[in-house]
């Protein structure tokens, strides 16, 4: 399993905020750093490497890429901007297979997976910028719980960062098994 010649064009550059940055800037930095770490761990691989399972888990690096694209899209749709999910996130895919995002990644090329994730991240960045410009992290999200309450945007941003932390840990171990790549942060320019 070798690196692909098609680069993962999502930047792995980590831009450090000021050491005295405020809450919003620091939380967005945390998310961007996790995205850069994830991009480094899954980037530049060929189809075989992205489809390789790591028993006893059935997870693959490609499945992680597609799953995190879905997570980015769902957070925006359900909590932040209310836009409907677009292709390929059709409900019928998940009705037939609740883990469709994980399983269908094996049918996608590396270029398709990377592009799907990059579009989701771009939409998420734009959605967060718009939402935060309207009122910061204290404002309620669009999601309404059964009791009528809504988590604030701070909670949604923390949950998104947590999802990256969890899955970047998986990607870290899987990538080491693929080609020996190790390290916490991607090399910086």
Beta bridge partners of 140: 152
Average predicted confidence (pLDDT) for the chain: 93
| Domains along the sequence of the chain with CATH | 23-179 (1.20.120.450)
Pull the structure tokens for residue 124: 């998420």
pLDDT tens digits for range 71-110: 999 999 999 999 989 889 989 999 999 999 999 999 999 9
| pLDDT score of 178 | 97
Is 60 within 8 Å of 166 (Cβ atoms)? no
User: CA distances (Å), 70 to each of 20, 43, 87, 108, 133, in order?
Assistant: 33, 18, 11, 14, 24
Is 154 within 8 Å of 106 (Cβ atoms)? no
Cα–Cα distance between 136 and 152 in angstroms, integer? 9
| pLDDT score of 9 | 56
Is 75 within 8 Å of 40 (Cβ atoms)? no
SS3 11: coil
Q: Which residues of the chain have pLDDT under 70?
A: 1-10
């Amino acid at each position: 399993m070798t690196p692909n010649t098609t680069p993962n064009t999502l930047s792995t550059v980590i831009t450090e905020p000021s050491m005295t940055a405020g809450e919003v800037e620091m939380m967005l930095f945390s998310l961007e750093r996790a995205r850069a770490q994830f991009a480094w761990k899954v980037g530049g691989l060929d189809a075989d490497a992205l489809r390789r399972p790591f028993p006893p888990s059935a997870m693959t690096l490609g499945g992680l890429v597609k799953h995190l694209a879905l997570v980015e899209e769902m957070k925006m749709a359900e909590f932040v901007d209310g836009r409907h999910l677009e292709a390929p996130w059709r409900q019928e895919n998940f009705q037939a297979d609740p883990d469709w995002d994980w399983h269908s990644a094996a049918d996608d090329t590396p270029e398709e997976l990377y592009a799907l994730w990059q579009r989701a991240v771009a939409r998420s960045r734009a959605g967060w910028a718009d939402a935060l410009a309207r009122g910061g992290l204290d404002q309620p999200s669009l999601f309404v719980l059964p009791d009528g309450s809504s988590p604030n945007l701070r909670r949604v941003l923390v949950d998104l960062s947590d999802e990256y932390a969890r899955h970047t840990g998986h990607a870290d171990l899987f990538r080491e098994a693929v080609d020996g790549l190790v390290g916490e942060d991607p090399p910086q320019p």
